[in-house]
Structure 1
């Protein structure tokens, strides 16, 4: 493509004129997605500009997700939507109903003209690293949910520090980054304490916990609660090979195990909230209805999404603990 002649007396900075030229070329179809732009040096020499002026223009276009760079090759058009003001990289561990609530509230609060691309690492360290490495420099902000993966800081530190936001779990190695997070240890302790009067009517408290996927803070808070209130307790990684018995209360961290335990309760002809109790972590609309309502310990995912969007829009460098509460229903 050829840039329009840059006007020296227009009052518009020359880097802005370059940005407008690229936008106009995309809007008219002269540039399409995948097309290569002239090099920095070619533009610099043709228009007698400093290299920094051209680089500033290209960086603005990159931050908005309109172009991207490939090391050793140059700059390419990423999208034909020139009205995008920001482009956000959002990396979740996995998608489920409550994270969908977070995602939807995040999008709604961001408003128009901001593009969000969502990715999933599924608790795989190699996938996590590749997704981030492949997208360095292509986004204006990076929202990352490291989950309980080890040594994620080694990859995250390749990103511009001022563009990274950590979501949900914040290991000590990432403590310097802005974050919206859950205090899992305190939340599980306080949630169980809020329903202590119900729990003491049972004989045993059982946590269904997967080391691969679940926050370590939940395990620590569970044991702290059981020790402090002298509760008979047990931690198991699945309900698959276990038969629920009368007098047990199950703390369930994922929806699949919740469905399994409800099925097993029915198969064993046990009465929920009388013979056996169930507390689920992370509230959803479905849990309001299933079996007359499942008691939950849950953060406010909609609020988490809104706070995250506000932080990015205002370019705030904050660490915000998202609130959690127990919602008492008929399952205990």
Structure 2
């Protein structure tokens, strides 16, 4: 998060006595020019420091230093694959739980193994704990095993081949889809075919596909796996299960349903992964399989604060709405 660079810059100036308590900070425009940031980013950074009580905004005068940065017992390396609304929920739940105990630095690898490797190597000795989300094509176990187990917290994806006793709070993608489809069985029986839209770029697709195939076989459902929504194969009586692609597959299904004058929940079924405010109201509600990402962040923070090692599956739940 770029605004954190501003917060770190000002904290460093305070700690090295370049800025003192009651000193006025440079103006917004000066900070924009000095750091090459937009006004919005600068304001986010200043608001972050204000919430910490390190600086204070004085009406029509600017920002003033009120105290030195807090020094907490823990310093956290928080590495995410990307930032989206779901990762945002994990991060802020984690931060709100641990903010009185730790300083948290956030990094992103964007599914790039070389970036992931560089970030781990450069920071091995700099933090008390490492909270990491992986989702990489390559096996990261050798790198992750360089982090002492008691400092290692793996979230969202259950990595294999890791040594020692470490904390892991993860989704079981295979079990989650299987259990959810079993729960929805009475609804699914009125449809002709289940179609899983599994994007090729999705890092956990293999586990979702395995759970989908197991359910379809055990309950004798006609089924198909596709990588995208195809208009020529779009048929009345299908149930579509979607995940990934920033919900673009959901949009495609809704557009095709409207084009054919078919009604979601009657002529076409739609089951989507991960709940958002939009899915609650879109087309009178989209049925979702959703994981409690807030709980994931909270439990990771508690494990550090309470000095516990935990392994916990963060189970999904079905939120039934009109699209199924």
TM-score (norm 1): 0.72
Question: Per-residue deviation at 1:194?
Answer: 0.9
SS at match of 2:123: coil
1:230 paired to 2:193: no
Measured in 2, the distance between the counterparts of 1:127 and 1:256 equals 28
1:151 paired to 2:139: yes
Contact 2:172 2:313 (C-alpha < 8 Å) held by counterparts: yes
1:250 paired to 2:271: no
Instruction: Identify the match of residue 294 of structure 1 among 286, 295, 306.
Output: 286
Measured in 1, the distance between the counterparts of 2:94 and 2:184 equals 31
Q: Which residue of 2 aligns with 1:322?
A: 314
Structure 1 pair 97/230, CA: closer, same or farther in 2 (3 Å)? same
Contact 1:148 1:212 (C-alpha < 8 Å) held by counterparts: no
Structure 1 pair 175/274, CA: closer, same or farther in 2 (3 Å)? farther
1:83 paired to 2:75: no
SS at match of 1:174: coil
1:1-332 aligned at under 5 Å gives the runs 27=15, 29=17, 81-112=69-100, 114-174=102-162, 176=164, 177-215=166-204, 216-239=206-229, 243-254=233-244, 255-332=247-324
Question: Per-residue deviation at 1:241?
Answer: 6.3
Question: Per-residue deviation at 1:161?
Answer: 2.6
Structure 1 pair 257/135, CA: closer, same or farther in 2 (3 Å)? farther
Structure 1 pair 301/232, CA: closer, same or farther in 2 (3 Å)? same
Contact 2:241 2:272 (C-alpha < 8 Å) held by counterparts: yes
SS at match of 2:225: strand
Structure 1 pair 242/96, CA: closer, same or farther in 2 (3 Å)? farther
Contact 1:27 1:82 (C-alpha < 8 Å) held by counterparts: no
Listed one character per residue, the Cα deviations across residues 228-247 of structure 1 (whole Å, up to 9, x for unaligned) are 01111111122266652211
Measured in 1, the distance between the counterparts of 2:163 and 2:268 equals 40
SS at match of 1:266: helix
SS at match of 1:166: strand
Listed one character per residue, the Cα deviations across residues 172-217 of structure 1 (whole Å, up to 9, x for unaligned) are 2137432011111111111011111111111111111134324232
Measured in 2, the distance between the counterparts of 1:87 and 1:242 equals 54
TM-score (norm 2): 0.74
Question: Per-residue deviation at 1:257?
Answer: 2.0
Contact 1:123 1:212 (C-alpha < 8 Å) held by counterparts: no
Contact 2:145 2:162 (C-alpha < 8 Å) held by counterparts: no
SS at match of 2:69: coil
Equivalenced residue count is 262
Contact 1:91 1:143 (C-alpha < 8 Å) held by counterparts: yes
Larger CA deviation: 192-201 vs 169-178: 169-178
SS at match of 1:251: strand
Q: Which residue of 2 aligns with 1:68?
A: none
